Amino acid sequence: MAVLLAMVLSGASFLLALGANPLRAAAGAKPVSDRELSLSTAELALVRQGKIVLRELPTPGREGRTYEAVGLVQGSLDITVSVLTDFEHYPEFMPNVSAVTLCERVEPCSVIETTLRLPLGIKKRYRLRYTGARVASGFELDWEKLPWPELKPSQTVADTSGFWLVRHFEDGVVLVVYHVYTDPGRVPLGLTGIARGLAKSKIPDGIVSLRERVRKISPPVIK
């Protein structure tokens, strides 16, 4: 089933409906067949102009914040997926990622240890499990934080999880969603707002970096 693009007259929204698939995402995440993305007509217009739509989503009962960025990437779905699943090369293009160790890869799951270099000389490390799933309308890549007992709380974050969605949009273009939940844990007094603001402002950079990486490795268009 192709991606369903529908203008819902009652809400004037853009609906991205996901094809059904028996595969499930990482533990604790929603089944891939349950996900959908709704963009207003104004947001859809921005996306078509090459802009990245950023929004904060509610996280009731949780300490962290959830952000979602949506944008278009010029390139094929297969190349986009190959970039997102090339974990060992993340330090070359993903914002703030300085090192990655691939601990285990048993399809569709990969366990990755990641080191982040953040402003003010801060370094954070965490272990993630990525789970990929091909669906009729594209590809989904979930991640969740795994225990790493050797790390002190100050060396890591309290929690993080999220997913990438890659969907066919039109010829040579895919729609990408970067959905992130982040809870940095204890932040020095008075810096909580600054830390959250920085985290939110960096979310679109994930799509910007993905765009550039896909552009570099995509074959030239012959006219």
pLDDT band at residue 73 under the 50/70/90 scheme: very high
* Residue 33, in any domain of the structure: no
Nearest to 122 by CA among 79, 186, 59, 56: 186
User: What is the Cα Rg of the chain in Å?
Assistant: 18
3-state secondary structure 110-134: EEEEEEEEEHHHEEEEEEEEEEEEE
CATH of the domain at 95: 3.30.530.20
Helix (H) or strand (E) holding 71: strand 65-74
Domain for residue 169, yes or no?
A: yes
Distance between CA atoms of 183 and 41, rounded to whole angstroms? 31
Using DSSP, state whether 154 is helix, strand or coil: helix
Domain membership of residue 58 as a residue range: 53-217
Q: What's the pLDDT score for residue 189?
A: 53
Distance CA 39, CA 53 (A): 9
State residue 13's pLDDT score.
36
Mean pLDDT calculated for residue range 194-220 = 82
DSSP 8-state secondary structure symbol assigned to residue 41: H
pLDDT tens track for 175-199: 999 999 988 877 655 545 545 555 6
Per-residue DSSP letters for 160-177?
Answer: EEEEEEEEEEETTEEEEE
Residue 105 falls inside a structural domain = yes
For 89-117, how does the pLDDT look when each residue is reduced to its tens digit (9 = 90+)?
999 999 999 999 999 999 899 999 999 98
| Mean pLDDT along residues 30-55 | 82
**Residue 190 is assigned to a structural domain of this protein:** yes
Count of domains in the chain?
A: 1
| Residue 47, in any domain of the structure | no
**Residue 45 within any structural domain of the chain:** no
Could you tell me the CA-to-CA distances from 220 to 189, 215, 217 in Å, in that order? 51, 9, 9
**What residues does 170 pair with on adjacent strands?**
173
- Model confidence at 173: pLDDT above 90: yes
The three-state secondary structure class of 181 is strand
Helices (H), the chain: 41-48, 77-84, 192-217
The identity of residue 10, as a single letter, is S
Q: Does some domain include residue 197?
A: yes
- Token pair 């595969």 is found at 23
* Inside any domain, residue 213: yes
